[in-house]
Structure 1
Amino acid sequence: MAAMNHTPPTPCYRALIVDDEAALAEVVASYLQREQFDAVVATNGSEAIAVAREFDPDVVILDLGLPGTDGLEVCRQLRTFSDAYVVMLTARDTETDTVVGLSVGADDYITKPFSPRELVARIRAMLRRPRVLQPRAGRPAPTEIPQSREFGDLRIDVAAREVYLADEPVLLTRTEFDLLDVLSAHPGVVLARRQLLESIRGEPWFGSDHLIDVHIGHLRRKLADDPAQPRYIVTVRGVGYRMGTGR
């Protein structure tokens, strides 16, 4: 009997690991590869930017404390051309560091030392968020039903993950879009900060609820939404946020 040809499955997602601790980066890459990710490593900021442009990752695991071009600057530059999820690695477990990381476009953070299994679980949770990806061999097929939501001059095309304000496109990060998607799917309903965090992360949240305020601030600025007289995202003091009418 002829031997069966066991061809390894094609990786579904691409991951870029950026850390100047090469041994740690390789460990993380090996865990992701076991989960059928196509994983590559960069050990400094300039290399990370160059690799990201060529590799087009779905997720970037990014060390905050890189020498030279640090993780914050790498994240800022990534956001000019990539909508990859960004998980920031930090050796400092303070809310200030976390807020700064989120403020430049990171989607999540994890503090060193960490469990590679926990990191992989968090990445899997992010990638389970419903969204449409550009076609690529090996990626799961999108499952969304085409849908459009309108709130005054704001139009949200859920299937295409596109947002328009007065017919002009608004460029959002994945997390910003996920947040707007959750709010707009429940117009008029007040959603607590923790509810929003757990909805966009896909898992329970045990950190500070107020980290959602960073993402809300970015979203409001991009929608030209005045917090004092909001049209789209309304603050419900002491509770959370709800979607406004747009008028």
Structure 2
Amino acid sequence: MGLSPASACDTPCPARQQTIALVDDDRNILTTLSISLHAEGFATRVYADGETALKALQENPPDLAIFDVKMPRMDGLELLKALRAQSRLPVIFLTSKDEEPDEALGLAMGADDYITKPFSLRLLVARIRAILRRSELAKAPPEEVPGAELPEPVVRGRLSLDPARHQVTWDGKPVSLTVTEFLILEAMALRPGVVKSRNQLMDAAYSDDVYVDDRTIDSHIKRLRRKFRAVDPEFGAIDTLYGAGYSFADG
């Protein structure tokens, strides 16, 4: 059934309000984040434990979710693992300074980023917007992006990247990457053999107003290697030049 004249937008339709799911057993954090995100124009849903959140996230996915790591009934890592079995929902972890192993594990399991408590709300909002922007671009069919010029696929030896469709293959086998992982790999593959510093990779994968430290880039590189080695145990195309950065070996 078509839209009636009254329901169609004669002028540009207002942007859809994006929804953030907040999962944390600390109700003070849930309240503070919910109020702050509402002020930034987001809708929020809040859950006090992972078990309750999982069912809701599966039945009615938001645009992005923020998980605390330590929670009763089902912690953030268990929640992410269960979610990743069927969803690529963008996820940011909230961690404490003494939870570095959990940060690394969360990134390895497919979290898009992490923020350490106590955190800046301005920084969190900037990261949310950056991840949502990349996620929307990755999901949207290129022909639906007004005035878009479709980027050409990048082929480097056995690697093929299609930025327009956010698809990656190695030897013809698909490799599933997050938006951040894709942008880091693309930055290296566009100039094979050229060492990219961590700062350059940060610039490629994060917006200008988002600060990330070296551990985040290193964690993303480890995840990239792990994912490619899952389809090719001999994969070694990402080189490390200690003290300088990383490069992609063409061939």
What is the match of residue 68 of structure 1?
73
**Cα offset, 1:58, TM superposition:** 2.7
**Cα offset, 1:113, TM superposition:** 3.0
Pair 110,143 (structure 1): closer, same or farther in 2 beyond 3 Å: farther
* Residues paired across the two proteins, number: 237
Residue deviations 1:100-154, cap 9 Å, x none? 3323222222222334333212212333448634359xx9879562320112222
Does the CA-based 8 Å contact 1:128-1:202 persist in structure 2? no
What is the match of residue 186 of structure 2?
181
What is the match of residue 44 of structure 1?
49
What is the match of residue 86 of structure 1?
91
Q: C-alpha separation between the residues in 2 aligned to 1:147 and 1:64?
A: 39
Q: C-alpha separation between the residues in 2 aligned to 1:196 and 1:167?
A: 26
* More deviation, 22-31/121-130: 121-130
Q: C-alpha separation between the residues in 2 aligned to 1:58 and 1:120?
A: 14
What is the match of residue 21 of structure 2?
16
Residue deviations 1:180-211, cap 9 Å, x none? 12222333321112321343122467664143
Does the CA-based 8 Å contact 2:69-2:102 persist in structure 1? no
What is the match of residue 224 of structure 1?
229
Pair 147,53 (structure 1): closer, same or farther in 2 beyond 3 Å: farther
Q: C-alpha separation between the residues in 2 aligned to 1:205 and 1:243?
A: 25
Pair 101,70 (structure 1): closer, same or farther in 2 beyond 3 Å: same
Structure 2 residues not aligned, in runs of 5+: 1-12
Q: Report SS of the residue matched to 1:217.
A: helix
Q: C-alpha separation between the residues in 2 aligned to 1:19 and 1:144?
A: 41
What is the match of residue 59 of structure 2?
54
* More deviation, 45-54/156-165: 45-54
Q: How do 1:67-216 and structure 2 match up within 5 A?
A: 67-93=72-98, 95-129=100-134, 132-135=137-140, 143=148, 145-203=150-208, 208-216=213-221
Question: What TM-score do the two structures reach when normalised by structure 1?
Answer: 0.80
Does the CA-based 8 Å contact 2:126-2:210 persist in structure 1? no
Structure 1 residues not aligned, in runs of 5+: 1-7
**Cα offset, 1:86, TM superposition:** 1.8
Does the CA-based 8 Å contact 1:44-1:66 persist in structure 2? yes
Amino acid at match of 1:165: W
> What is the alpha-carbon root mean square deviation over aligned residues?
3.2
Amino acid at match of 1:175: T
**Cα offset, 1:221, TM superposition:** 2.3
Q: Once superposed, which parts of structure 1, at least 4 consecutive aligned residues long, lie more than 6 Å away?
A: 139-142
Flag the structure with higher helix content.
2
Pair 207,95 (structure 1): closer, same or farther in 2 beyond 3 Å: farther
Pairing partner for 1:243 from 219, 240, 248: 248
